[in-house]
Amino acid sequence: MGSIEQTPVVSDISLPAHIPESNQTPSSAPTNKLFSLGGRTIAITGGGRGLGITLASAVLEAGGHAACIDILPEPSATEWAALQKLAKSSKLSISYHKCDITSEEDISKCLDEIAEAGTAANAPLTGTIACAGIQQKVPAVEYPIDGFRRIMDVNVTGTFLTIKHTARIFIKEGTKGSVVMIASMSGQVANRGLTCSAYNTSKAAVQQMCRSVAQEWGQYGIRVNTLSPGYIRTAMTDELLTAEPEVEKTWMAGALLGRLGAPEDFKAPAVFLLADGSSFMTGADLRVDGGHCASA
């Protein structure tokens, strides 16, 4: 390892003077409660469409309040109308916040507002799903530097800023919260036929970011895990499959269950990682890929 640069820590969070040996206790709650998000608020970046908006519905269905954050001016109309209906019938809240996760000022302010509203509604912020991400398919030898940097900025730096400010809120409030980052199986394997070097690199970085911050934040009872999907049909992949329909054949060749994923396949895994059922799990990756990585 080379020389380590040390920046003096400027922090307005008062850290506990004594770090308890263990501040997480095993839950004695019945199993159905281990999957409940009742009385909690969960923030979801990328919650304007695709996987993120589906995970917001999972949060509501598990009894939690959902706060969606996205760069889009408005969330997808049909899904949002369904979410509002679900929230109303369950007496839960759903909110939408336009925010670019690559701006530290904006994401920090946005998460603070969500946390304040949660506390006021007696449903504190206890979890964040960092789901916002972008994809680009360009051969590595032709990759324009701006494109490569943009992928890193959103998928790595934006994800880091999201979880950094979530953790600051948790530490300040003494919340033993859960952070879930949406990585990808592409953080572990290079997808055959896809020229996505920047994206794959960014998702491997998210998986290592998870382990790095998990070892820093476990002392506060904060858990951090990644959820790594295989191929899912969303706006992100539809664009690619419309342009290059033959790619679907390559993807299906590795689909052990004979189908690609749907956003709904990730509802239960995400709720599990947010809720108390996973209280002994941190620094881990939960790969949900229809078996794709199990065979060559």
Ligand X SMILES: NC(=O)c1ccc[n+]([C@@H]2O[C@H](COP(=O)([O-])OP(=O)(O)OC[C@H]3O[C@@H](n4cnc5c(N)ncnc54)[C@H](O)[C@@H]3O)[C@@H](O)[C@H]2O)c1
Catalytic residues: 199, 203
Give the largest CA-CA distance in the chain. 59
Q: How far is the CB of 184 from ligand X (least distance, A)?
A: 4
Q: How far is the CB of 102 from ligand X (least distance, A)?
A: 5
For ligand X, the closer of residues 177 and 229 by Cβ is 229
For ligand X, the closer of residues 63 and 187 by Cβ is 187
Contact footprint for ligand X (CB under 6 A):
45-46, 48-52, 70-72, 100-102, 131-135, 154, 158, 182, 184, 229, 231-232, 234-237
Residues 6+ apart with CB under 8 A from 10: none
Of the candidates 8, 2, 13, which has an alpha carbon nearest to the alpha carbon of residue 217? 13
Q: How far is the CB of 174 from ligand X (least distance, A)?
A: 28
For ligand X, the closer of residues 13 and 235 by Cβ is 235
Q: How far is the CB of 270 from ligand X (least distance, A)?
A: 11
Whole-angstrom Cα distance, residue 26 to residue 28? Answer: 6
Residues 6+ apart with CB under 8 A from 6: none
For ligand X, the closer of residues 96 and 217 by Cβ is 96
For ligand X, the closer of residues 171 and 260 by Cβ is 260
Whole-angstrom Cα distance, residue 181 to residue 12? Answer: 25
Write out the two tokens for 286: 């939960």
For ligand X, the closer of residues 182 and 209 by Cβ is 182
Q: How far is the CB of 247 from ligand X (least distance, A)?
A: 11
